[in-house]
Structure 1
Amino acid sequence: MDTVTSAVRIPIEEGAHLNADLSVPVGASSAVIFAHGTGSSRHSPRNRAVAEVLQRAGVATLLLDLLTEREEEIDDVTAEYRFDIPLLGRRTTAVVDRLAEQPGTRGLPVGLFGASTGAAAALIAAAERPERVTAVVCRGGRVDLAEDVLDRVRAPVLLIVGGRDPQVLALNRDAADRLTAPHRLEVVPGATHLFAEQHALETVALAARLWFTRPGPEPSTVG
């Protein structure tokens, strides 16, 4: 499937902007925004691998930096922004709004894919924009950092956690109990937090593709 990829600059508060890579397959049926995890960026090879699978399924993807270039320089030294979840949540919400203005994605349903701390940002944006966000996938997500908004999320949520990531798995099980939206917790056997094991990331990508493109009714809620 032919896909057009371009570098975009997304304006945010106070005249600043976020850098992003927008890929739009011909005839795209939906769009997914990727919110990266702690200390990562739009260049994350794991997120890019998942994005490529989605693109082949006809889904537009937006891989973005949640921090400005100046903030990234500061964060590399102080780490003061990477755990500022309210900031990251506001940024992700703003990008949901801006995506509606981008050529090729205007009017498309929007999904959110969040990894690690980016999962919390994705859940905040889903809670803030229930009319726009239609699905959420969290990979190894620090969903506990969005605990205040879990009961306001309306989009179906897929929680994917490695079987050898016990602390994050416990946090996701607790979040699953608190979500009122349709959701599923999927455990990838033998996978650790970064899903670096053979076939682990492929499993994540295929699960995400199904979640974002599935036909028919929403999934049943499971704990």
Structure 2
Amino acid sequence: MIDSIGPTDSSAVEIGPGADVDETAVVGYEHDPDAGPTVIGAEARIRAGTRIYRDVEIGNGLVTGHDVLVRERTEIGDSVVLGTKTVIDGTCSVGSHVSFQTGVYVPTHTTIGSHVFIGPRAVLTNDMYPVRVPYDPAGPILEDDVSIGANATVLPGVTVGEGSFVAAGAVVTADVPAETLAVGAPAAHRSLPAELQGGNDL
């Protein structure tokens, strides 16, 4: 077990065997002295510039690109890939076998299932009317086997149903039923073509 990575309190970090962590990565960033530990499973590959806060729990087989940020009160499952400059802004739940491509943004209070693919520069949101009206943040829910295309935007509180496919550039403003194609801005719902059915092989 590796006890400390980066300029952190070694008692607040637990990383399983087989980890490969670049020198400039910071695991266990202390945002709050009372925060819980950072716990990461076996065989992690954490690249330069990545910063993982305390009070984060991640399973086995994590792989990050460069300059990834994972904030506090986040739980992530096994075999998850966090592409370069992905941001998970805290208080999030992510399942297993999930692939975040370059530059994905995930706001607080978001739930992501397992076997989910999120394409480059996709943006999930949690505030319908930023800085205009008081709000309780509510990120999207992406159920199992969802695919989100590049540069798509998913609005606050939206549920994307199991097995659905959100096309590149779509703006998803309403819940997407299971096994549905969402395309356009605002996204319209269409039958999922046969070649896109069957879930994600992640």
In our comparison, the structure showing a higher alpha carbon Rg is 2
Greater per-residue helix proportion: 1
**TM-score computed with the length of structure 1 as normaliser:** 0.27
TM-score by length of 2: 0.29
The one of the two structures with greater contact order (alpha-carbon pairs below 8 A, sep at least 6) is 1
- Structure with bigger strand share is 2
